[in-house]
Amino acid sequence: MAGYQYVSPEQLAGFDKYKDLFALDTNPLSLYIMHPFWNTIVKVFSTCLAPNLITFSGFLLVVFNFLLIAYFDSDFYASAPGHKHGPDSVWIVVGIQNFVAYTLDGVDEKQACRTNSSTPLGELFYHGLHSCSCVYFVVTVYSIFGRGSTGVSVFVLYLLLWVYNTGILFLPWGYDLSQVTIYFVYIVTVVVGVEAWYEPFLFNFLYRNLFTAMIIGCAICVTLPMSLLNFFRSYKNNTLKHNSVYEAMVPFFSPCLLFILSTVWIIRSPSDVLELHPRIFYFMVGTVFANITCQLIVCQMRSTQCTTLNWLLLPLFLVVIAVNLGVASYLESVLLYTLTAVFTLAHIHYGVRMVKQLSRMEEKNIGL
């Protein structure tokens, strides 16, 4: 397995025709505040500093936040009334690191342009780590509200949207706005404490309802409409990677099946696995989601059709079948942890091998 090649030499040659994905950012907050800020910050970095190192540094901060909050709030009850709360200093650290990670996320692409070092490897590295960060970021923010009488149900992390069929990435306005909102939430939590989110802020509308409404609202009212608009613009301009309806829908098969399988597991679970191990379950689903994303990115850069179904869905399917057949409650937890470990190792192996393959290709191109 150490020398396994996920992409054949013929497929690898397709990266030579790679063209950077053009990111269209029309968000006023980003255009007039964040981009000027990032343009200033990037000048602090040496031109010898690799953009991928900046990307990876930001990713590690997000992971550290996830692990730090997991230590103080393993079951998402630490912010609930009647439970022991974590120290306020934790939210100071998390808030600062989240801001630094967001800044590095904006700076890395500018460093790549500044040093003229944009490559297929950098593209995969950037979007691959972004796909992994989704679960860490959402779960960390979720701990502010937690669950319980004033919290949010653990059945929240199921808004998955895939629009990666066009050659243009539309950057949703909701991302930058959510980042600014989260900084405000962190500041309030540090100054007042998690108790600030117990009381309703308008009539009987609780902050937990606002939190849920913001997630659903951004997906339905911002991301989905703008992604569909961008899709039809690409169709009109004949810039779609695939023209048939079937080929356009193939990238949705794996994430949709992941959603169906994980939801069936939750509903049919004999031990109520999501309530018992929410953090591990989120991590497991997020890891498979990230692997699907990375493989779609690779196909996007090669301008080839992606596989119909991701192979990681097979063991997940078998586990869901076992759960439906009536597996013992204690065995379900063992299956969850085993599956999570297998998926994590498989995804790390995929990432390491793809990076090595692309690195060798770029070294050969430089040699030529």
The per-residue pLDDT for 67 is 92
Q: Which residues of 255-281 are buried (b: 16+ CB within 10 A; e: fewer)?
A: bebbeebbeebbeebebebbbbbbbbb
CA distances from 274 to 165, 181, 287, 332 (A): 32, 28, 16, 11
User: Look-up: residue for tokens 């069929």?
Assistant: 165
Residue 112: name the closest of 101, 130, 125 by CA: 125
- How many percent of the chain have pLDDT more than 90? 7
Q: Is residue 254 helix, strand or coil?
A: helix
The per-residue pLDDT for 186 is 80
Mean pLDDT of the chain: 76
* Domain that residue 133 falls in: 9-367
In a domain, 3, yes or no: no
> How far is 12 from 2, CA to CA, in rounded Å?
18
Q: How confident is the model at residue 85 (pLDDT cuts 50, 70, 90)?
A: confident
- In the chain, the number of structural domains is 1
Q: Spell out the residues 6+ positions from residue 261 whose beta carbon is closer than 8 angstroms to its own.
A: 313, 316, 317, 320
In a domain, 301, yes or no: yes
Asked whether the predicted pLDDT for residue 344 surpasses 50, the reply is yes
| Mean pLDDT for the stretch of residues 40-65 | 87
> How far is 43 from 142, CA to CA, in rounded Å?
34
**4-44 tens-digit pLDDT:** 666 666 666 666 566 555 455 666 767 778 788 888 888 88
Q: Spell out the residues 6+ positions from residue 97 whose beta carbon is closer than 8 angstroms to its own.
A: 61, 62, 64, 65
**270-303 tens-digit pLDDT:** 888 888 888 899 889 889 988 888 888 777 776 6
In a domain, 4, yes or no: no
Please state which of the ranges 131-145, 156-170, 219-233 shows the lowest mean pLDDT. Answer: 156-170
In a domain, 2, yes or no: no
Residue 89, strand partner residues: none
In a domain, 162, yes or no: yes
Q: How confident is the model at residue 60 (pLDDT cuts 50, 70, 90)?
A: very high
The per-residue pLDDT for 167 is 35
Q: For the whole model, what pTM was predicted?
A: 0.82
| Mean pLDDT for the stretch of residues 192-202 | 71
Q: How confident is the model at residue 316 (pLDDT cuts 50, 70, 90)?
A: very high
In a domain, 88, yes or no: yes
Asked whether the predicted pLDDT for residue 161 surpasses 50, the reply is no
Please state which of the ranges 17-21, 105-109, 122-126, 140-144 shows the lowest mean pLDDT. Answer: 17-21
Beta strands in the chain (DSSP E): 22-24, 168-170
The per-residue pLDDT for 24 is 57
In a domain, 1, yes or no: no
| Mean pLDDT for the stretch of residues 88-109 | 85
Q: How confident is the model at residue 130 (pLDDT cuts 50, 70, 90)?
A: confident
The per-residue pLDDT for 314 is 93
The per-residue pLDDT for 338 is 93
Asked whether the predicted pLDDT for residue 362 surpasses 50, the reply is yes
CB 94, CB 186: distance < 8 Å: yes
| Mean pLDDT for the stretch of residues 305-332 | 84
**213-252 tens-digit pLDDT:** 766 666 667 666 766 776 777 777 776 666 666 777 777 7
The per-residue pLDDT for 326 is 77
The count of other CB atoms within 10 Å of the CB of residue 29 is 14
CA distances from 300 to 116, 149, 261 (A): 22, 44, 26
